[in-house]
Structure 1
Amino acid sequence: MNTKDIANIIYNRILEDKSQLISSFEKSKNEIGFFFVDDLLPEDLALQIYEAFPKKEEMVLKKSMREYKHVAAQMDQYNPLLEKVIYAFQDERIVTLIGEICKIENPEPDENLYAGGISLMAKDNFLNPHLDNSHDKSRDKWRVLNLLYYVTPNWEDSFGGHLEIWPQGLNHDPITIYSRFNRLAIMATHQKSWHSVSPVNHDGERCCVSNYYFSDTPLTTEDQFHVTSFRARPGQKVKDFILQTDSMLRMGIRKVFKKGITENPHVYKKDNHTKEE
């Protein structure tokens, strides 16, 4: 299968549920808009995508007080199927269709995979509550949608590693969107889109294909530029103070250096590599 073949399947599956998905997003859009699509791809193809994932030792380890996970964006180093499925989500028809569902005009995919690509979370991995960086790598466009496609078969709800969104803030319980096999989850990203991934408590690996969409305009009138900003989970007061201080310091640096002091390494540096169409 090439990228276009996979995109055809994704487009038709989302189109099939379009009315229901519009309703789901509409009900949640005033807080953190979201929806999910189950059985996105044929099961055998979804299994092939999972089996194509590299070992975690072959990915970039991100381990700190903020997060603990394995990521990759330099897709020409891995099984070509992974690159195909990532860029399938960037097909113009799919981007337009999802924009229609979310009532976002002219969303744009990110060919550079800034903070996108693939991720793997193993036992004890986690992602603390955070706001995604508000912009793309050039700080020209606003990040508006987060697309997460989960491909680990037989991943039970009790295993953890699930997307959590906090529409009422961190003083209230989150909504859990379970990272079930062959599920695509899409959430809006804006000034109040606090989200996290629950700790993995199972001796397995939760694998995910990630994309972001951007726009010339932010989703809300309240949106302002911000770096990726982390908080602790409720009740972790000392950790929360440290993470808030960390975010303020990094934000202060970005006020002086618009694009940061160093280039974010989590991008796809193609070096004349052309993705398959």
Structure 2
Amino acid sequence: MNSNTVDRHSLADLISERLNTEKESLRHQFESSKNGIGYFYLDDVLPVDIVNDIHKNFPSPEDMTLKKSLREHKHVAAQMNKYHPILEEAIYAFQDKTIVSHICDICKIEDLYPDDKLYAGGLSAMHKGQFLNPHLDNSHDIERNRWRALNLLFYVSPNWNDDNGGHLELWPNGLKKKQVVVHSKFNRLIVMATHQASWHSVSPVTANASRQCVSNYYFSDQPLQPSDRFHVTTFRGRPEQTVTNQILKLDSFLRMNIRKIFKKGIVENPHVYKKDN
């Protein structure tokens, strides 16, 4: 099987088999962590040759959108018809109804909906020095109809060593306590809960290499926690970044108040997949 023959359905069958085989272990991971930030990870998700094809066909930084600020420094892409077909097929494989059903079962969430618009999802790449500061994801979908519930991250950079940086960091006890690091290992899927207390970040990349990720969000009719309220994507500084932290607090305050007046913001969010009708 190669990049010219795979499609989202065949990929979904392979992912489904791995999820089903490891389901009890994945349930235990999520259940044991859900009092903080619920998450699980699954290794060896797809055959290595397929993941290598995804990696080889990842767009160059010049063909992606650069996001650079105190909040984050990374390249992203959501307009999937601009790129090699295997990338779109890989993303939408995780939106297959069988995969969604498995993850509903693992996480014990009754209603989950994938996002075919890829609002804030799609592809991301980080190179040396790039990062994502601690933040809470936007609480809703692009129409503010459903609650963001799960973040699915599939890593496709071969030979990504632990000392390369670019790893997912979870802060279940707040930003003043030590974070949990989940390494962005090749062919690993991480699924994490997104709610009012799910602070997470990506450590700075230290290697002269590209940390590549295929990402999806699932939404739900109900928030994961009764205390959840609408909020914009909310950034903070790392524990040692005291000045940055104050600036980002003000930034989040201003953006939140703008959204109270303009429900969908002042400008249209460009990070969506605009498909031809």
TM-score (norm 1): 0.98
Q: In structure 2, what is the equivalent of residue 275 of structure 1?
A: none
2:272 is the counterpart of 1:271? no
How many pairs does the alignment contain?
272
How far the C-alpha of 1:41 sits from its partner, in A, is: 0.2
Residues 67, 127 of structure 1: 8 Å contact kept: yes
Match of 2:60 among 35, 44, 55: 55
- What is the CA RMSD across the aligned residues, in angstroms? 0.5
Match of 1:23 among 17, 22, 28: 28
- Secondary structure at the residue paired with 1:68? strand
Structure 1 spans left out of the alignment, 5+ residues: 273-277
Q: In structure 2, what is the equivalent of residue 75 of structure 1?
A: 80
2:181 is the counterpart of 1:191? no
2:14 is the counterpart of 1:3? no
1:209-248 to 2 correspondences below 5 Å: 209-248=214-253
2:44 is the counterpart of 1:34? no
Deviations 1:188-239 (A, max 9, x none): 0000000000000110000000000000100000100000000000021111
**Equivalent residue letter for 1:142:** W
In the alignment, the residues of structure 2 paired with residue 71 and residue 255 of structure 1 have an alpha-carbon distance, to the nearest angstrom, of 27
Deviations 1:149-187 (A, max 9, x none): 000000000000000000000001100000000000010
Match of 1:64 among 42, 62, 69: 69
Q: In structure 2, what is the equivalent of residue 205 of structure 1?
A: 210
1:43-192 to 2 correspondences below 5 Å: 43-192=48-197
Residues 96, 106 of structure 1: 8 Å contact kept: no
How far the C-alpha of 1:3 sits from its partner, in A, is: 1.0
In the alignment, the residues of structure 2 paired with residue 186 and residue 33 of structure 1 have an alpha-carbon distance, to the nearest angstrom, of 8
- Secondary structure at the residue paired with 1:254? helix
Deviations 1:52-97 (A, max 9, x none): 1011111000000000000000000000000001000000010011
- Secondary structure at the residue paired with 2:30? helix
- Secondary structure at the residue paired with 1:4? helix
In the alignment, the residues of structure 2 paired with residue 124 and residue 235 of structure 1 have an alpha-carbon distance, to the nearest angstrom, of 17
In the alignment, the residues of structure 1 paired with residue 148 and residue 8 of structure 2 have an alpha-carbon distance, to the nearest angstrom, of 24
Residues 128, 231 of structure 1: 8 Å contact kept: yes
Structure 2 spans left out of the alignment, 5+ residues: 1-5
In the alignment, the residues of structure 2 paired with residue 150 and residue 240 of structure 1 have an alpha-carbon distance, to the nearest angstrom, of 29
Identity of aligned residues (%): 60
Q: In structure 1, what is the equivalent of residue 3 of structure 2?
A: none
**Equivalent residue letter for 2:174:** G
How far the C-alpha of 1:18 sits from its partner, in A, is: 0.2
**Equivalent residue letter for 2:89:** K
TM-score (norm 2): 0.98
Residues 144, 214 of structure 1: 8 Å contact kept: yes
How far the C-alpha of 1:44 sits from its partner, in A, is: 0.5
In the alignment, the residues of structure 1 paired with residue 143 and residue 115 of structure 2 have an alpha-carbon distance, to the nearest angstrom, of 11
In the alignment, the residues of structure 2 paired with residue 183 and residue 235 of structure 1 have an alpha-carbon distance, to the nearest angstrom, of 30
- Secondary structure at the residue paired with 1:152? coil
In the alignment, the residues of structure 2 paired with residue 23 and residue 198 of structure 1 have an alpha-carbon distance, to the nearest angstrom, of 26
In the alignment, the residues of structure 2 paired with residue 236 and residue 269 of structure 1 have an alpha-carbon distance, to the nearest angstrom, of 37
Give structure 1 regions of 4+ aligned residues with deviation exceeding 6 angstroms.
none
How far the C-alpha of 1:20 sits from its partner, in A, is: 0.5
In the alignment, the residues of structure 2 paired with residue 12 and residue 106 of structure 1 have an alpha-carbon distance, to the nearest angstrom, of 21
